[in-house]
């Protein structure tokens, strides 16, 4: 999974390795340099989602460089 792209803006892990923009926020700032991830299924009930500023369900990287 380390070869997946992650958005530097919202930390969303991209499903497509050929993505040119983030499916969540539309940013074109994607990177392969990230570590760890969390799956958020119910952002409205998640303290982690609140801390990360996540409002949509999905996979998010914990550390993005």
- Contact between residue 28 and residue 1 where contact means Cβ atoms under 8 Å apart: no
Global pTM value: 0.88
Q: Where are the extended beta strands (E) located within 2-45?
A: 6-7, 30-31, 34-40
CATH fold of 6-64 reads Rubrerythrin, domain 2 (2.20.28)
- Contact between residue 12 and residue 25 where contact means Cβ atoms under 8 Å apart: yes
* Residue 22 marked ligand-binding: yes
Q: What is the pLDDT of residue 9?
A: 96
* Residue 35 marked ligand-binding: no
* Residue 9 marked ligand-binding: no
- For the chain, the structural domain boundaries read 6-64
pLDDT tens track for 12-63: 999 877 789 999 999 999 999 999 999 999 999 999 999 999 999 999 999 9
**Residue listed under structure tokens 């998640």:** 46
* Whole-number Cα distances in Å, 24 to 8, 36, 42, 56: 12, 19, 16, 8
């Amino acid at each position: 999974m380390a070869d997946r792209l992650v958005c530097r803006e919202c930390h969303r892990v991209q499903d497509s390795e050929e993505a040119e923009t983030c499916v969540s926020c539309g940013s074109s700032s994607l990177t392969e340099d990230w570590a760890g991830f969390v799956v958020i299924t119910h952002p409205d009930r998640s303290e982690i989602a609140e801390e990360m500023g996540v409002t949509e369900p999905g996979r998010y990287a914990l550390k993005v460089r």
